[in-house]
């Protein structure tokens, strides 16, 4: 059996059209081998060419979040009809799945926006007993987003990772800073990167 090829995986979620928040997170991650995004790339009714293009250009693997699905569905038609919106990027986003079952760095990864047990994502926070069900999943890591609360905890043989939010801070435990994560597939070490939202630090628009 082949040994693991160690990789440094960058993980982001809940960017919500905040390009500067995403860029600040990527800067803190440093060199990465793969970028995974656990959904809510966009803010409901607010398309962002620049955020989608940045992720596409990095060959990021993305699952759609609830905000993405609203914007890409019938309710978002008006926002997407704007002449500034790049139709190719919209098409690319529409082709992203709601869940992803992949192998990266010799590790089996399941990625969903909310918990994999909810068709429409509920807010399942880090201390919820629901995560215990992860032990029964056929993967090495479960990557989720949605709550904007960071988490890295092992249940049986499964490591559950939520990087927090790279665009809309809601986690009081890190003083409402943005966050992202890197995961070393060899050591299984998850490193969180907390940082102020550069969009909020700027002068009011």
DSSP line for 79-104: HHTSTTS-HHHHHHHHTS-SEEEEEE
31: confidence class by pLDDT, cuts 50, 70, 90: very high
Domains and CATH numbers, the chain: 8-198 (3.60.21.10)
Distance CA(197)–CA(10), nearest Å, equals 18
96: confidence class by pLDDT, cuts 50, 70, 90: very high
User: In sequence order, which ranges of 58-174 are alpha helices (DSSP H)?
Assistant: 66-72, 77-80, 87-94
DSSP 185: T
9: confidence class by pLDDT, cuts 50, 70, 90: very high
Distance CA(88)–CA(85), nearest Å, equals 9
Please say if the pLDDT value at position 2 is more than 70: no
Q: pLDDT tens for residues 99-115?
A: 999 999 899 999 999 99
Among the ranges given (55-64, 114-123, 141-150), the one the predictor scored with the smallest mean pLDDT? 114-123
């Amino acid at each position: 059996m082949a040994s693991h090829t160690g990789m440094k995986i960058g993980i982001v979620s809940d960017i919500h059209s905040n390009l500067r928040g995403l860029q600040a997170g990527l800067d803190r991650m440093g060199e990465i081998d793969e970028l995974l995004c656990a959904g809510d790339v966009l803010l409901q009714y607010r398309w962002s060419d620049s955020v989608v293009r940045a992720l596409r250009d990095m060959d990021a693997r993305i699952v759609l979040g609830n905000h993405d699905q609203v914007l890409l569905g019938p309710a978002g038609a008006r926002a997407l009809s704007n002449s500034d919106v790049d139709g190719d990027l919209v098409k690319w986003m529409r082709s992203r799945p709601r869940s992803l079952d992949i192998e990266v760095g010799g590790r089996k990864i399941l990625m969903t926006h909310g918990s994999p047990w909810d068709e429409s994502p509920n807010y399942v926070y880090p201390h919820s007993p629901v995560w215990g069900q992860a032990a029964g999943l056929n993967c090495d890591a479960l990557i989720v987003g949605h709550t904007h609360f960071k988490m890295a905890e092992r249940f049986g043989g499964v490591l559950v990772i939520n990087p927090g939010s790279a665009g809309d801070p809601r986690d009081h435990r890190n003083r409402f800073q943005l966050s992202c994560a890197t995961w070393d597939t060899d050591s299984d070490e998850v490193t969180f990167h907390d940082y102020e939202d550069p969009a909020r630090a700027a002068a009011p628009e």
